[in-house]
Structures are given as C-alpha cells and as structure tokens.
Structure 1
Amino acid sequence: MTSHSTAFFRADGDELVPLRRATSGWGGADGPGQVRGTAVSGVLARGAERAAAELEGAERFRPVRWTVDLFRPGGMVPSTVEATVVRGGRRLRLVDVSLVQATGTVARGSLLLLATGGPTSGTTWTAPLPAVPTAPPADLVPDPTEPTLYRADGDWTTDRRQENAARKATWFPAAPIVEGEEPSGFAHLAAIGDAANLTSSWGTLGVEYINADLTLAIARVPAAGDGVGVFAESRVEAGGIALGTVTMFDRHGALGSVTIATLANGAQVVQP
C-alpha cells in the first residue's frame, strides 16, 4: 500500500488507498502508521467539492468555510469518502463528508458555499489585509516527495531543521491528492490548512501538540496549480491545550485564515 508517488492516495474503484506520502509522523516508527491530517482534509475536501459540483448552478458558488474534525486516527488502509448535501439552496449550500474505514468513520468535514454576486452600494469599514511573507522564489525547489519550504524569521529554505521559537511560515507547491489528478485550488488549500499545526506549534523541540480539528475561512480560492503559504498569526496555550491561528496566502496575498484546537501529546514529539 506504499508508493513513491507524490500523491496522498491512489484510487481503486470507489476506494482510496493511502500512499507513502500520506503517512503521519504521529504514528511512530512501529506498526502500520496513520494518515496525516493534510491527506485527510484534502481528500475530504475533494469529495465535498465533487458533491457540490453536481448541484444545479454550481458555477455561481464559492467555498468560504471548511471545517474538519479529526476525532480518530485514520489507518493506512483503504478508505471511502461519503458525501451528503445538507442544503442546496439558491444562496447557501452545505455539504457534509465523512472518511470511512473498516473500523468506522475516522474524520468528518463540512463545506459551506455561498453564491457570488455584485458589490453593494454602501461603504463599510474594512481592516487592511494581513501582512504575509513574500512567496518563495520559483527556482527554490523542495524535495518532490515532501514538497515543503520553510521560513523562520529569515529567508525561505528547504532545510527542515527549524527547532526554534521563531515565528514560522511554510510553503507548499501544488501536489496531487489522488494519483493522476491535478487538485483544484480549493482542495489543495483545504489539505494545506492542516499545516496550521506545523506552522503554529513548531518550537524548540519540534511539534509537541496534535490538532483535533481545523476551520478554514477564505474570501477567495487560489488558482489550481499554484502554491499555498501558511503564516503563524497567534497562539494561546493553557493547561496542555493550545489554540492556533494562521493566515493562508498565495503569490497574490492573503486568502483567509485557519484556526485549530490542539492537545499536548505527551512524550511523543514530531520533528518535521
């Protein structure tokens, strides 16, 4: 069930088979491993987007909120995505999705889409967009099997050794979620939303907190094939629980934000 493909999954009929890149660092070196959150969020978003695309007038709607609950570790085993259209209205649409394995449902997602329209006539106060790092140069090429670039109060780098308390940013070139498919801009963004934990929880020992959820809110969707960046904005910690907020951005500026709720994971630490 492993492969050197840069994709997270391989389609096998109605099933999705996790590939090597889908393996989470939280699973440890022993045992079959578990699926990383980026893979879970990405494949759930793919399923939700496909269900929404089947509704009449789908071209008028834009994804604006994506929420994932990671309530059970997903195994590196064949999985299916089940989608339900909760609401298919003229202005608001809501799609729920679940990642199902032989042991049951391991994660669920909810996609809110709103109909686009013209501008309003009045004027409303608007805060300046968040300042985000300049995207990395196009000729800075990461490892194709783990396409991540890093920045910690310095220049972008392919060096993963960033065990420090600096404010961090990460950049992810577009990569397939399912082998043989180019991900949509939204599916790529939804997958990378899980990197909010990597970016906000990465400290002097590595990543000591594991996220139980993510909520992505966006005003626009990046173009398919473009990279996506994650920039730490805030982190609040108390009693082994930490809440993180990051700004998502592309080469044109800020897209929106992700918030996560995380738990201290005992002695287990992930060093990306």
Structure 2
Amino acid sequence: MSFSFFTADSSTGSEVLTPTDAARSLWSSNQMHGVALSGAMSRAIELSVTRTDLRPARYTLDMFRPATMDPFTIETTLVREGKRLCLVDARLIQGGEAKARASTILLAPSEDPDGDVWRPVDDPTPPESVPELTEPTVPWFASDAPWSQDFADHQNAGRKQTWQYAVPIVADEVASPFQAVASIADATTMACNWGTKGVQYINTDITLTLARLPRTGEVGLRGERWTSSDGIAVGVATVFDRDGVIGQTMITSLSNARRTVDFHEHDFNDDGSRTSRA
C-alpha cells in the first residue's frame, strides 16, 4: 500500500498538509472525511508530546466547519503538564480560519488496584473469517449479514461492526497505534448511523476513550447504543483489537438526509479509489 491521506511539506517552516484523493468525503467532493481529519489531528498532537511515560487516554475532536480539500496547518498548545497527566489542544487552520479543534489527555500508566469492578461479559471479538491484516484494505463489516467487504450487504437495520487496518496519515509514514485508532474512531458513524437507506446523519464530533492503545494498526468497532430525536443522534461504540476491548467512542450527529451516503451507489478498492455501482 502506497496511498495516504496527506502529503507533508515543511519547506516554509510550519508543516503544511495537503489532502490526497483518499481523504475526499462522500458528503461533498470538496470536503475531507472525518477519518482523515481525525488522523491528522491526532498525529499533530502526538508529535507535540515528547514524553514517553504518558499515553493517550481521551481524545475529543470537534468538526465545526467543513474542512476542504485544500492545504492546511495544525497548531498545538500544551495546556497542562504534570507528573501523571498532560493535556494538549490542537486547531486545524485552513485559509486563515479554524475548521476543527481537538483535545487529548495523556496519562501515566501504573498498576490496577486489586478490587473487583463490574464489566460486561459480551465483549466483541475479532472476526474469525478475516485473516490478520498487515496493511490497509477495504474495511470489513458485519450486520444482519455476515462479515464481508461489500458495503451494500450491510445497508440494513442490523447492529453494525467494522474491522479495518489504518491508512497512513502522511505519505511515507506508518500510522502509530494512536493515529490508527483516532482515525478509525470516525467510523463510529458507520457502526451507529448506518441504516436501511444509507448514512443519513453526519457526525460533528468524536470522543475516544482508551484504557490502552491497540497492539497494531488493526482496530474494530461495535455499535452499542444509538438514539435520535428531532434530527440529532447519539451513538456509542466499543473499540477492540485482537487482544480484547481497549475503549469506547461516542459521536453526536445531525440529520443530513438531503445528502444521504447510499452504499448501493458507491464501492471501494484496496488502493483507496472509489467506484460507482451505477
């Protein structure tokens, strides 16, 4: 796999990221999708932290203006640093305007206490029918239909799961475990907002909480809760890898039915390109 979401240029001093076609949204031809945007923001935050004794535990992304397919920069700010905690904020700047913001809390690992705490007994597991992934492919999904890479199979009202390998954020780089899970976290909309007529809600944010990072670039999401009222929806998903559950995601979304993403019309290739089913 040679494709990525962005190319990087630091010749002017500040790094400028330029979206590739793999970052293009299905909502609009001149809009970046959230997987790419979240990957870029998590990468900038991760690169701004020099300490190796901390790891990301909570990541929140607000996408309050459409980010277009134009070059942009990301500014990061160290808000608070202590012995066991670090808080970093970031802003994506495009055309002199802020398009998104993110915040990450990094915590120092220690030891779990010895008390017993309730936990679910029906945790999701990796799909046995999918071989171990070592590079990006078309995402796998399960719903009322079994695991497959055919999106049309899963345009139903069933509970959704996805299993995928992270696309590199920037060309000639390998996505770190944090970049992998933060980018794939945007696929919570596919686990929660996808129904019989396609994806009819567009998510405005992502909150990802992590007890640990994924072991590799393979990450799964399983929809757990979804509710909507008056065109506002909330979805929650479990995040897992081949060794078990690692955290959860939550998104809030707005009705976008006039621009529904209908997967009876779209298909995807392993090289990141898209084709029409029409």
TM-score, structure 1 length as denominator?
Answer: 0.89
Q: Residue 89 of structure 1 aligns to which amino acid in structure 2?
A: G
Q: Residue 80 of structure 2 aligns to which amino acid in structure 1?
A: R
The 5 A counterparts of 1:176-255 are 176-224=168-216, 226-255=217-246
Contact 1:130–1:254 under 8 Å retained in 2 = no
Instruction: Confirm whether residue 27 of structure 1 aligns to residue 7 of structure 2.
Output: no
Query: 1:16 maps to which residue?
Result: 17
Give, in whole Å, the separation in 2 of the partners of 1:263 and 1:25. 16
Aligned pair count reads 258
1:100 counterpart SS class: strand
Give, in whole Å, the separation in 2 of the partners of 1:142 and 1:92. 32
Give, in whole Å, the separation in 2 of the partners of 1:24 and 1:117. 40
Query: 1:269 maps to which residue?
Result: 260
Indicate how the Cα distance of structure 1 residues 151 and 139 shifts in structure 2: closer, same or farther if over 3 A, else same.
same
Give 1:129 shift. 5.6
Please list the CA deviations of residues 133-181 of structure 1 after superposition, one character each: whole Å capped at 9, or x if unmatched. Answer: 433545487995x631111134311111021101111111132011100
Contact 2:133–2:218 under 8 Å retained in 1 = no
Indicate how the Cα distance of structure 1 residues 112 and 267 shifts in structure 2: closer, same or farther if over 3 A, else same.
same
Give, in whole Å, the separation in 2 of the partners of 1:173 and 1:156. 15
Give, in whole Å, the separation in 2 of the partners of 1:11 and 1:98. 17
1:43 counterpart SS class: helix
Give 1:220 shift. 0.6
Please list the CA deviations of residues 161-216 of structure 1 after superposition, one character each: whole Å capped at 9, or x if unmatched. Answer: 02110111111113201110001101110001111012101011100000010100
Give 1:67 shift. 0.1
Contact 1:206–1:269 under 8 Å retained in 2 = yes
1:194 counterpart SS class: helix
Give 1:130 shift. 4.9
Query: 2:61 maps to which residue?
Result: 68
Contact 2:126–2:163 under 8 Å retained in 1 = no
Give, in whole Å, the separation in 2 of the partners of 1:206 and 1:5. 30
Match of 2:90 among 71, 89, 97: 97
Q: Residue 264 of structure 1 aligns to which amino acid in structure 2?
A: S
Q: Residue 240 of structure 1 aligns to which amino acid in structure 2?
A: G
Query: 1:257 maps to which residue?
Result: 248
Give, in whole Å, the separation in 2 of the partners of 1:266 and 1:139. 35
Indicate how the Cα distance of structure 1 residues 182 and 209 shifts in structure 2: closer, same or farther if over 3 A, else same.
same
Structure 2: gaps (5+ residues): 264-278
Give 1:223 shift. 2.2
Give, in whole Å, the separation in 1 of the partners of 2:46 and 2:88. 8
- Taking every aligned residue pair, what percent have the same amino acid on both sides? 38
Indicate how the Cα distance of structure 1 residues 264 and 143 shifts in structure 2: closer, same or farther if over 3 A, else same.
farther
Contact 1:99–1:106 under 8 Å retained in 2 = yes
Contact 2:139–2:164 under 8 Å retained in 1 = yes
The 5 A counterparts of 1:31-180 are 33-52=30-49, 54=50, 58-120=51-113, 122-128=114-120, 130-135=122-127, 137-139=129-131, 147-161=138-152, 162-180=154-172
Contact 2:221–2:240 under 8 Å retained in 1 = yes
2:259 counterpart SS class: coil
Please list the CA deviations of residues 17-54 of structure 1 after superposition, one character each: whole Å capped at 9, or x if unmatched. Answer: 100110011115xxxx11100111111000111111x2
Indicate how the Cα distance of structure 1 residues 158 and 260 shifts in structure 2: closer, same or farther if over 3 A, else same.
same
Give, in whole Å, the separation in 2 of the partners of 1:141 and 1:92. 33
